[in-house]
Amino acid sequence: MSEPRFAVFGHPIAHSLSPRIHAAFGKQLGVPLQYTAIDAPPETFAAQLDAFGKAGGSGANITLPHKQAVLALCAHVSDFARRAGAVNTLTRRLDGHWRGDNTDGAGLVRDIAQRHGLDLRERRGLLLGAGGAARAAAFALLDAGVAELTIVNRTPERADALADAIGEPDRVRTRYWDALGTLGNFELIVNATSAGHTRQSLRLPFALVAPRALCYDLSYGMTASAFLAWARAAKAGFAYDGLGMLIEQAAESFAIWHGRRPDTDVVYDEFRGELPLHASD
């Protein structure tokens, strides 16, 4: 019997650690599997995903820029994925259709609260970005007890759409990017933009950072380096990249597919050694 096949779809995707992470999970738990990275531009993504499923693909992770578009390709989606309007985990059903889940939010909160031991409750939060990853982050942070969340995006219409989807005007507001210097400071700042991938500068004012603030980039490695350097220069209390979130969301996906959750600390330590963070604590 051949090993079950899984993949991560994105564009670009060559940098992805997901194949190695899932291989490490499989080795740890004795679960045989094949997991590959598939570069899928937006114009061919749907066809590539369909071909993967018809060729026997059992499940897939979805990353930038497809997390919102893939929703339309799912026959069923989890409640959290429906709320967030974004999917990052697909499971092939017996009828040949895809079920969509979103493990990003759970991965983010688990990394912050359990690995780093930080309490999210009652924090005043700022979310930079409003794409697929940002949507999952917003709902998860609010569910975890963040007191209020300000969403800022280069395209304000996307920020407004996310705030409308959340539907909590007492806790969630949007502001224009140009107004960042007038918003006061925040105990939580999450970078969910693609700036690190495109090597763009965010040009953020230091005044955003409250004493002992947590600054968190959903990206990892060099992609997160500029934001983390800014956070440390602004004297943030804590500055972390998204490696832990990546591993935690992958573990959630692995559990959906295989019914067992791996020990993430072992895998995190292995990859952290390759991607030093120099976090400030």
Q: Which domains does the chain have, with CATH numbers?
A: 5-103+248-274 (3.40.50.10860), 105-243 (3.40.50.720)
Q: One digit per residue, pLDDT tens: the chain, 281 residues?
A: 589 999 999 999 998 999 999 999 999 999 999 999 999 999 999 999 999 999 999 999 999 999 999 999 999 999 999 999 999 999 999 999 999 999 999 999 999 999 999 999 999 999 999 999 999 999 999 999 999 999 999 999 999 999 999 999 999 999 999 999 999 999 999 999 976 555 666 889 999 999 999 999 999 988 899 999 999 999 999 999 999 999 999 999 999 999 999 999 999 999 999 986 644 33
How far out from the chain centre does Cα 68 lie? 13
Tokens of 112: 């912050």
Strand pairing class (76-77; 98-101): parallel
Query: Is there a catalytic annotation at residue 27?
Result: no
Nearest CA among 217, 143, 166 for reference residue 151: 166
Q: Which of 27, 54, 67, 235 is catalytic?
A: 67
**Which three-class secondary structure state does DSSP give residue 211?**
strand
Q: pTM, whole model, 2 decimals?
A: 0.94
Residue 127 sits at φ, ψ, to 5 deg, of -110, 120
